[in-house]
Amino acid sequence: MSDSQEDLIVPRKWHDALPRESWKQFERVGTGHSWFEVYRVTTDVYALYEPGQFQEVISYLVLGGERACLVDTGFGMGDMRGLVDELTDLPITVVNTHTHVDHVAENNLFDDVAVFDHPFARENAVTGRDHESVKRSLSEGMVWKPLPEGFNADMWYIPPFRVTRWLHDGDTVDLGGRTLEVHHTPGHSPDSICLLDREARLFWTGDIFYNAPLYVYGATADLDDFIESYRKMVALSRHYNWLLPGHNETYVDKEVLARVFKTAEDIRAGEGGEYREQDRRGTVIHRYDREGFAIIVRAP
C-alpha cells in the first residue's frame, strides 16, 4: 500500500467519525469504568460500547427476570466483569455471538458461558490467543482513548475459557420471563449466531451485520454462507424491528438487511458494480460501498 492510498480496512484518523451521532438518542449511564460508554438501549438492555479502540466493539447486557445475559465479553482492555457487577445483581450467562477475539476476551472471568457448537469455536476456547497474535490491535493509530489504569498492554492476550453450554441452531436461552432464540448465521465466521427476542422485537446480529464495512474476506469468512445467512435473517425479520450489532452503532432499522442481502448476491454474480481493490499481505480484497454499509470480499 502506498502512503497516498487510503487503507480500505483501517482509515487514517478513523476516530474523526467519533462520537457517532446515533448514540445521542440513548440515555448514557455513568459507571466507574471509563473505558466503556454504557447506554440504555431499552429499559432492560444496556449497550457496553468500547469507542476507544478501532473496532468500536459493542457488548450487551440483557436483563431477564431471573438471569442476565451478557452478549459478548468485549476486547479485554476494560474491566467487563467489574462493569457488569456494577450494573446488575442478577446471575450472568455469557452468550457469544462468535469467538473472534474482540468478543470473547473476558469470557474466562464468567462461570456460565454459552457458545455455538462448531470446531472453530471449540478450538478458540482451548487456545485463546497469545500476545503476539493480538498486539497489532493496540498498535499506533488503533487506540484513541487512554487505556484503562492497570491494563498491561505489553502482556495483553486472550485467555482460553471454559464453555458450560454448547449451543445449536434453534436453541433458546431462558432468562426468566425473557427468551433469546439462537439462529446460526455463518459467513463472517463459521460459528456466528444471531439472537432473537421476539417479545421485545430485538435482533442481535454480532458481526454478520454492523454499520461499517462488513468483512467477508478473512480466513474464516465465506460469501456463500453469508448470503444464505442473510436469506434466513431477512425471512425472520417479521419477528423483529431493531438490529443490535457487535460494532460501531446500535438499534439499527432492520430495512438495511435486505439491501446487504441483495448487494452480496450481486457481488457473487459478478454484478456488484464499482469496487476498490487492495492487496492486504497477499490477500486481494474488493470493497463495495453502499449507503450505510460496505462489503469487503476476497477477489474472485
| Binding positions for Zn ion, rule: CB under 5 A | 100, 207
Nearer CB in complex with Zn ion: 175/195 = 195
Q: Closer CB to Zn ion, residue 100 or residue 184? A: 100
CB of residue 199 vs Zn ion: minimum separation in angstroms? 27
* Nearer to Zn ion (CB atom), residue 138 or residue 208: 208
Nearer to Zn ion, 100 or 178 (CB): 100
Shortest spacing between CB 192 and Zn ion, in angstroms: 8
Question: Is-contact 55 137, C-beta < 8 A?
Answer: yes
- CB of residue 144 vs Zn ion: minimum separation in angstroms? 20
Distance, CA of 56 to CA of 14 (rounded, Å)? 11
Instruction: Convert 87-121 to b/e letters by CB count within 10 Å (16 or more is b).
Output: bbebebbbbbbbbbbbbbbbbbbbebbbbbbbebb
Task: State the nearest-atom distance from the C-beta of 189 to Zn ion, in Å.
Answer: 6
Nearer to Zn ion by Cβ, of 63 and 294: the residue is 294
Q: Which residue is nearest to Zn ion (CB)?
A: 100
CA angle 93, 166, 124 (to 5 degrees): 95
What DSSP element (H or E) covers 226? helix 223-235
User: In whole angstroms, how close is the CB of 30 to Zn ion at the nearest point?
Assistant: 29
Q: Which is nearer to Zn ion, 64 or 213 (CB)?
A: 213
- Amino acid (one-letter) located at 3: D
CA angle 131, 133, 138 (to 5 degrees): 70
**Residue among 100 and 118 whose Cβ is closer to Zn ion:** 100
Q: Judging by beta carbons within 10 Å of its beta carbon (0-12, 13-18, 19+), is residue 300 exposed, middle or buried? A: exposed
- Minimum separation from the CB atom of position 206 to Zn ion (A): 7
Query: Which 3 state secondary structure label does DSSP give 157?
Result: coil
Tell me the one-letter amino acid at 49: Y
CA distances from 283 to 27, 76, 187, 251, 278 (A): 42, 28, 18, 33, 8
- Least Å distance, CB 45 to Zn ion, is 21
SS3 of residue 45 by DSSP: strand
